[in-house]
């Protein structure tokens, strides 16, 4: 997360830190037994291994954690998203029962802020059942606490596919897709080979390697040279397709917000963050956050092929301004002392400023093919 951290902050690998890392030991044994693993498998194991995964074992989000997300920057973020969904619910004719699904809700801050803002529209809150898709038991507890005073009792699921398919769905995902595993392919000798994670016995450390098999047919990248890296995220595409399919079947809308690009792009976006600084992705498996930038064009293709319609992406800054960021700030700042007003302005700048989260982060909406246009797009 936090891709607006200054580059150059990557720490030198500190071998002494890896001594008691059980996940590292397990990965070493697995690689020694079965051979190198793909970057995607490495990411999946590091983030979601039931015993030692980064998300499954720790509280990672917030000022005391490793990275801060938009809902943790300001309540205005979740509130505007609440207004986005309340407005869309109205545009759909106020269906009496909907599922509000959040993918990867973190500490539950966004959904709590969303519900509070949504209460301003009569009937919206009453229509909602909440389904949270979350792998981490630690974070499920935090989400339960965040929603305690909301009057809603969420149901948790390990996978989106487990959410019942019985009524319109409103799906929100903020900084979720960047946590889904990416495959990487490196151009070597004119062909594309999958990048892998191997074990280097001389250094006693994990190291990058490339597989022998060529994947040339999968890419139409003519404008490239040896050493270039291309990425693909089958897991992200499957998720976008499942959400698109559910909306096409039952109605509703989705909003995906994340940092990323509209592909095709050549480049290695795998990054590790710990304690608000860049880290080495291989040095401490399970103890650092690993992410890749999201390829919005492939999410759109996946949702479109599930018969859903995509809107955008638009930049996060533009999206929040269109939803009324300035007006909401004005309301919160009214009659407040100068230091509170300054802090509100600073958090709005962080969310929407083009040198901070405003441009790199993007919002993509999904609806049925004939659904009304969502606010902000
Ligand atoms: N949306 C939150 C948290 C983002 S961090 C926010 O904006 O603050 C990513 C979240 O996705 C965490 O809650 C993490 O536990 C969850 N997560 C990561 N991979 C997942 C997966 N494969 N399935 C379900 N949840 C996942």
- pLDDT at residue 12 above 80? no
Mean pLDDT over all residues of the chain?
Answer: 92
Condensed to tens digits (0 to 9), the pLDDT of residues 63-110 reads 888 889 999 999 999 999 999 999 999 999 999 999 999 999 999 999
* CA 192–ligand 1 middle distance (angstroms): 31
Note whether residue 158 is domain-resident.
yes
Domain of 57, CATH number, reads 3.40.50.12710
* CA 211–ligand 1 middle distance (angstroms): 30
Cis peptide preceding 180, ω within 30 of 0: no
Burial letters 58-93, b for 16+ CB under 10 A, else e: bbbbeeebbbebbbbbbbbbbbbbbbbbbbbbeebe
Q: Which of 102, 135, 158 to mutate to test the pocket of ligand 1 (most atoms within 8 A of CB)?
A: 135
Note whether residue 341 is domain-resident.
yes
- By residue count, the chain amounts to 377
Burial letters 20-57, b for 16+ CB under 10 A, else e: ebebbebbbeebeeeebbbbbbbbbbbbbbeebbbbbb
Count of domains in the chain? 1
* CA 133–ligand 1 middle distance (angstroms): 8
3-state secondary structure of 267: coil
Q: Per-residue confidence at 10, pLDDT binned at 50, 70, 90?
A: very low
Note whether residue 7 is domain-resident.
no
The pTM score is 0.94
In degrees, rounded to 5, the angle at the alpha carbon of residue 70 between the alpha carbons of residues 64 and 75 is: 95
- pLDDT at residue 55 above 70? yes
State the DSSP H helix or E strand holding residue 79, giving kind and residue range, or none if neither. helix 75-91
pLDDT of residue 58: 81
pLDDT of residue 1: 45
Condensed to tens digits (0 to 9), the pLDDT of residues 297-341 reads 999 999 999 999 999 999 999 999 999 999 999 999 999 999 999
Q: Which of 55, 59, 75, 162 to mutate to test the pocket of ligand 1 (most atoms within 8 A of CB)?
A: 55
Note whether residue 116 is domain-resident.
yes
Condensed to tens digits (0 to 9), the pLDDT of residues 186-219 reads 999 989 999 999 999 999 999 999 999 999 877 7
Beta bridge partners of 56: none
Q: Which atom of ligand 1 is nearest to the CA of 133?
A: 24
Selected residue with higher pLDDT from 176 and 66: 176
Q: Which domain holds residue 247?
A: 22-367
Using CA positions, which residue lies closest to atom 14 of ligand 1?
104
Q: Nearest CA to 131 among 106, 89, 159?
A: 159
Q: Per-residue confidence at 221, pLDDT binned at 50, 70, 90?
A: low
3-state secondary structure of 42: helix
Note whether residue 224 is domain-resident.
yes
* Ligand 1 pocket check for 291: Cβ under 6 Å: no
Which of the 8 DSSP states describes residue 28? H
In degrees, rounded to 5, the angle at the alpha carbon of residue 91 between the alpha carbons of residues 90 and 96 is: 45
* CA 268–ligand 1 middle distance (angstroms): 22
Note whether residue 225 is domain-resident.
yes
Note whether residue 2 is domain-resident.
no
The token pair that represents 293 in the structure block: 């930038």
Condensed to tens digits (0 to 9), the pLDDT of residues 233-291 reads 999 999 999 999 999 999 999 999 999 998 767 789 999 999 889 999 999 999 999 99
Q: Nearest CA to 159 among 108, 81, 103, 198?
A: 103
Q: Per-residue confidence at 16, pLDDT binned at 50, 70, 90?
A: very low
* Ligand 1 pocket check for 61: Cβ under 6 Å: yes
- pLDDT at residue 137 above 50? yes
Note whether residue 323 is domain-resident.
yes
* Ligand 1 pocket check for 176: Cβ under 6 Å: yes
Q: Per-residue confidence at 5, pLDDT binned at 50, 70, 90?
A: very low
pLDDT of residue 20: 74
């Amino acid at each position: 997360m936090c891709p607006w951290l200054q580059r150059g902050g990557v720490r030198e690998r500190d071998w002494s830190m890896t001594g008691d890392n059980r996940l590292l030991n397990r990965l070493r044994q697995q690689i020694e037994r079965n051979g190198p693993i793909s970057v995607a498998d490495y990411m999946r194991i590091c983030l979601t291994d039931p015993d030692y995964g980064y998300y499954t074992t720790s509280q990672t989000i917030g000022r005391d954690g490793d990275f801060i997300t938009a809902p943790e920057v300001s309540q205005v973020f979740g509130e505007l998203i609440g207004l986005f969904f309340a407005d869309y619910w109205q545009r759909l004719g106020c269906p009496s029962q909907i599922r509000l699904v959040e993918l990867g809700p973190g500490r539950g801050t966004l959904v709590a802020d969303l519900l509070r803002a949504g209460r301003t529209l009569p009937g919206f809150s009453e229509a909602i059942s909440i389904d949270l898709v979350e792998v981490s038991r630690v974070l499920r507890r935090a989400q339960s606490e965040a929603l305690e005073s909301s009057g809603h009792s969420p149901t948790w699921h390990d996978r989106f596919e487990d959410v019942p398919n019985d009524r319109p769905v409103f799906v929100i995902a903020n900084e979720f897709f960047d946590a889904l595993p990416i495959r990487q392919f490196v151009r070597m000798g004119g062909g594309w080979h999958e990048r892998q994670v191997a074990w280097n016995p001389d250094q006693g450390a994990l190291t990058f390697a490339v597989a022998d098999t060529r994947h040339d047919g999968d890419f139409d990248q003519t404008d490239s040279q040896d050493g270039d890296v291309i990425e693909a995220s089958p897991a992200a595409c499957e998720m976008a397709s499942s959400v698109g399919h559910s909306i096409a079947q039952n109605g509703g809308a989705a909003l995906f917000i994340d940092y990323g690009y509209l592909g095709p792009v050549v480049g290695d976006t795998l990054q590790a963050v710990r304690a608000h600084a860049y880290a080495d992705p291989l040095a401490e498996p399970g103890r650092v956050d690993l992410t890749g930038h999201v390829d919005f064009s492939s999410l759109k293709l996946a949702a479109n092929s599930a018969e859903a319609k995509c809107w955008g992406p638009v930049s996060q800054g533009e999206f929040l301004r269109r939803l009324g960021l300035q007006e909401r700030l004005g309301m919160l700042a009214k009659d407040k002392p100068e230091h509170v007003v300054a802090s509100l302005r600073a958090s709005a700048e962080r969310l929407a400023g083009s040198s901070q989260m405003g441009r790199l982060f993007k919002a993509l909406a999904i609806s049925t093919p004939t659904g009304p246009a969502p606010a902000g797009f």
